[in-house]
Protein backbone atom coordinates (compact mmCIF):
# COMPACT_ATOMS: atom_id res chain seq x y z
CA UNK A 1 0.00 0.00 0.00
CA UNK A 2 1.12 3.45 -0.86
CA UNK A 3 0.84 6.32 1.49
CA UNK A 4 0.46 9.85 0.35
CA UNK A 5 1.03 12.85 2.57
CA UNK A 6 -1.74 15.31 1.97
CA UNK A 7 -0.82 17.75 4.69
CA UNK A 8 2.31 18.94 2.94
CA UNK A 9 4.35 19.02 6.06
CA UNK A 10 8.02 18.47 5.55
CA UNK A 11 9.36 15.14 6.30
CA UNK A 12 11.32 15.05 9.50
CA UNK A 13 15.06 14.47 9.10
CA UNK A 14 16.56 11.44 10.68
CA UNK A 15 19.50 12.30 12.82
CA UNK A 16 22.33 9.98 13.68
CA UNK A 17 22.33 8.90 17.24
CA UNK A 18 24.64 10.97 19.34
CA UNK A 19 27.28 9.16 21.27
CA UNK A 20 28.32 10.78 24.43
CA UNK A 21 31.34 9.58 26.18
CA UNK A 22 31.43 9.27 29.79
CA UNK A 23 34.58 9.49 31.92
CA UNK A 24 35.18 5.74 32.04
CA UNK A 25 35.09 5.42 28.23
CA UNK A 26 37.71 8.24 27.80
CA UNK A 27 39.98 6.38 30.19
CA UNK A 28 39.56 3.21 28.18
CA UNK A 29 40.35 5.09 24.96
CA UNK A 30 43.49 6.69 26.45
CA UNK A 31 44.67 3.36 27.90
CA UNK A 32 44.07 1.55 24.62
CA UNK A 33 45.93 4.33 22.75
CA UNK A 34 48.85 4.05 25.19
CA UNK A 35 48.86 0.25 24.77
CA UNK A 36 48.88 0.58 20.96
CA UNK A 37 51.76 3.11 21.04
CA UNK A 38 53.68 0.92 23.50
CA UNK A 39 53.12 -2.12 21.28
CA UNK A 40 54.37 -0.16 18.23
CA UNK A 41 57.46 1.04 20.11
CA UNK A 42 58.15 -2.50 21.37
CA UNK A 43 57.80 -3.86 17.82
CA UNK A 44 60.21 -1.17 16.56
CA UNK A 45 62.68 -2.00 19.38
CA UNK A 46 62.40 -5.73 18.60
CA UNK A 47 63.04 -5.11 14.88
CA UNK A 48 66.04 -2.82 15.51
CA UNK A 49 67.44 -5.28 18.08
CA UNK A 50 67.09 -8.12 15.55
CA UNK A 51 68.95 -6.04 12.95
CA UNK A 52 71.65 -5.29 15.55
CA UNK A 53 72.12 -8.99 16.29
CA UNK A 54 72.29 -9.78 12.56
CA UNK A 55 74.84 -7.00 11.96
CA UNK A 56 76.95 -8.29 14.88
CA UNK A 57 76.91 -11.79 13.34
CA UNK A 58 77.84 -10.35 9.93
CA UNK A 59 80.68 -8.38 11.56
CA UNK A 60 82.07 -11.53 13.19
CA UNK A 61 81.87 -13.39 9.87
CA UNK A 62 83.59 -10.50 8.09
CA UNK A 63 86.34 -10.42 10.72
CA UNK A 64 86.94 -14.16 10.22
CA UNK A 65 87.05 -13.70 6.46
CA UNK A 66 89.40 -10.73 6.85
CA UNK A 67 91.76 -12.81 9.00
CA UNK A 68 91.74 -15.59 6.38
CA UNK A 69 92.37 -13.07 3.59
CA UNK A 70 95.24 -11.50 5.57
CA UNK A 71 96.95 -14.91 5.54
CA UNK A 72 96.34 -15.22 1.82
CA UNK A 73 97.72 -11.71 1.29
CA UNK A 74 100.87 -12.55 3.25
CA UNK A 75 101.40 -15.67 1.13
CA UNK A 76 100.74 -13.70 -2.07
CA UNK A 77 103.21 -10.98 -1.02
CA UNK A 78 105.84 -13.60 -0.28
CA UNK A 79 105.25 -15.32 -3.65
CA UNK A 80 105.37 -11.94 -5.43
CA UNK A 81 108.70 -11.18 -3.74
CA UNK A 82 110.01 -14.61 -4.81
CA UNK A 83 108.77 -14.00 -8.37
CA UNK A 84 110.52 -10.61 -8.50
CA UNK A 85 113.72 -12.19 -7.20
CA UNK A 86 113.47 -14.95 -9.80
CA UNK A 87 112.81 -12.39 -12.53
CA UNK A 88 115.95 -10.46 -11.53
CA UNK A 89 117.96 -13.70 -11.56
CA UNK A 90 116.68 -14.55 -15.05
CA UNK A 91 117.55 -11.05 -16.28
CA UNK A 92 121.02 -11.39 -14.77
CA UNK A 93 121.52 -14.75 -16.51
CA UNK A 94 120.32 -13.31 -19.82
CA UNK A 95 122.69 -10.36 -19.43
CA UNK A 96 125.58 -12.70 -18.63
CA UNK A 97 124.76 -14.78 -21.71
CA UNK A 98 124.69 -11.65 -23.86
CA UNK A 99 128.01 -10.49 -22.40
CA UNK A 100 129.44 -13.96 -22.88
CA UNK A 101 128.68 -13.93 -26.59
CA UNK A 102 130.17 -10.42 -26.99
CA UNK A 103 133.85 -11.53 -26.97
CA UNK A 104 133.03 -14.43 -29.26
CA UNK A 105 131.40 -12.05 -31.74
CA UNK A 106 134.35 -9.64 -31.47
CA UNK A 107 136.89 -12.39 -32.03
CA UNK A 108 134.91 -13.81 -34.95
CA UNK A 109 134.58 -10.39 -36.56
CA UNK A 110 138.30 -9.57 -36.14
CA UNK A 111 139.35 -13.02 -37.39
CA UNK A 112 137.10 -12.66 -40.44
CA UNK A 113 138.38 -9.16 -41.21
CA UNK A 114 142.06 -10.09 -40.80
CA UNK A 115 141.52 -13.27 -42.84
CA UNK A 116 139.94 -11.24 -45.64
CA UNK A 117 142.88 -8.80 -45.72
CA UNK A 118 145.92 -10.08 -47.66
CA UNK A 119 149.44 -10.12 -46.20
CA UNK A 120 148.39 -9.35 -42.60
CA UNK A 121 148.44 -11.48 -39.44
CA UNK A 122 147.88 -10.71 -35.77
CA UNK A 123 150.29 -11.42 -32.94
CA UNK A 124 148.15 -10.10 -30.07
CA UNK A 125 144.68 -8.72 -29.40
CA UNK A 126 143.48 -7.19 -26.12
CA UNK A 127 139.99 -6.01 -25.25
CA UNK A 128 139.99 -3.11 -22.77
CA UNK A 129 136.20 -2.77 -22.57
CA UNK A 130 135.69 0.39 -24.64
CA UNK A 131 138.55 -0.24 -27.06
CA UNK A 132 140.48 -3.08 -28.66
CA UNK A 133 144.24 -3.08 -29.25
CA UNK A 134 145.61 -5.10 -32.17
CA UNK A 135 149.31 -5.87 -32.70
CA UNK A 136 150.49 -7.71 -35.76
CA UNK A 137 152.70 -7.98 -38.81
CA UNK A 138 152.10 -7.00 -42.43
CA UNK A 139 154.15 -7.41 -45.59
CA UNK A 140 153.42 -3.83 -46.66
CA UNK A 141 152.04 -0.56 -45.40
CA UNK A 142 149.26 -0.90 -47.97
CA UNK A 143 148.12 -4.11 -46.25
CA UNK A 144 147.95 -2.22 -42.93
CA UNK A 145 145.88 0.53 -44.58
CA UNK A 146 143.57 -2.12 -46.09
CA UNK A 147 143.14 -3.70 -42.63
CA UNK A 148 142.21 -0.32 -41.14
CA UNK A 149 139.64 0.27 -43.90
CA UNK A 150 138.16 -3.22 -43.48
CA UNK A 151 137.88 -2.79 -39.70
CA UNK A 152 136.07 0.56 -40.13
CA UNK A 153 133.66 -1.02 -42.65
CA UNK A 154 132.55 -3.69 -40.15
CA UNK A 155 130.51 -1.11 -38.20
CA UNK A 156 131.68 -2.66 -34.94
CA UNK A 157 134.15 0.17 -34.34
CA UNK A 158 133.46 3.89 -34.47
CA UNK A 159 137.16 4.79 -34.74
CA UNK A 160 140.23 2.83 -35.88
CA UNK A 161 143.55 4.57 -35.33
CA UNK A 162 147.06 3.52 -36.26
CA UNK A 163 149.18 3.87 -33.15
CA UNK A 164 152.46 2.93 -34.83
CA UNK A 165 153.94 1.03 -37.74
CA UNK A 166 157.63 0.11 -37.87
CA UNK A 167 159.65 -1.90 -40.34
CA UNK A 168 160.94 -5.02 -38.61
CA UNK A 169 164.76 -5.14 -38.66
CA UNK A 170 164.94 -8.82 -37.65
CA UNK A 171 163.52 -10.10 -40.91
CA UNK A 172 166.18 -9.25 -43.52
CA UNK A 173 164.84 -11.54 -46.22
CA UNK A 174 161.38 -10.01 -46.27
CA UNK A 175 160.09 -6.52 -46.02
CA UNK A 176 157.82 -6.76 -42.92
CA UNK A 177 156.13 -4.11 -40.82
CA UNK A 178 154.92 -4.50 -37.25
CA UNK A 179 151.89 -2.37 -36.41
CA UNK A 180 149.69 -1.45 -33.48
CA UNK A 181 146.06 -0.39 -33.94
CA UNK A 182 143.64 1.01 -31.38
CA UNK A 183 140.00 0.47 -32.25
CA UNK A 184 137.25 2.23 -30.27
CA UNK A 185 134.07 0.13 -30.01
CA UNK A 186 130.84 1.59 -31.28
CA UNK A 187 128.79 -0.25 -28.60
CA UNK A 188 130.62 -1.16 -25.41
List, for residues 116-143, the tens digit of each pLDDT value: 888 898 999 998 878 999 999 998 889 9
- Confidence class for position 77, pLDDT limits 50, 70, 90: very high
- Residues 6 or more apart whose CB falls under 8 angstroms from that of 133 comprise 124, 125, 126, 163, 180, 181, 182, 183
Interacting residues of 119 by C-beta distance below 8 A, sequence separation 6+: 138, 139, 140, 143
Q: What is the model's pLDDT at position 36? A: 95
User: Where along the chain do its domains lie?
Assistant: 24-116, 117-185
Higher local confidence (pLDDT), 56 or 103? 56
Distance CA 65, CA 176 (A): 87
The arrangement of secondary structure in 117-185, i.e. its CATH architecture, is 2-Layer Sandwich (3.30)
pLDDT of residue 148: 92
Which residues have a Cβ under 8 Å from the Cβ of 137 and sit 6 or more positions away? 120, 121, 123, 168, 176, 177, 178, 179
- Structure confidence at residue 9 as a pLDDT band (50, 70, 90): low
* Burial bucket for residue 147 (CB in 10 Å: 0-12, 13-18, 19+): buried
pLDDT digits (tens, 9 = 90+) for 37-56: 999 999 999 999 999 999 99
Task: Give the pLDDT score at 12.
Answer: 63
Amino acid sequence: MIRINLLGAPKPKIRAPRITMSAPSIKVLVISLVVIIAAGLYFQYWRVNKQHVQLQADLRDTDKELAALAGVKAIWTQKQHEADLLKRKVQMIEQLRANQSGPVQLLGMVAGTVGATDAVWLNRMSDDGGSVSLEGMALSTTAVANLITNLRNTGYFKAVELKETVQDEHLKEYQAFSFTLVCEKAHS
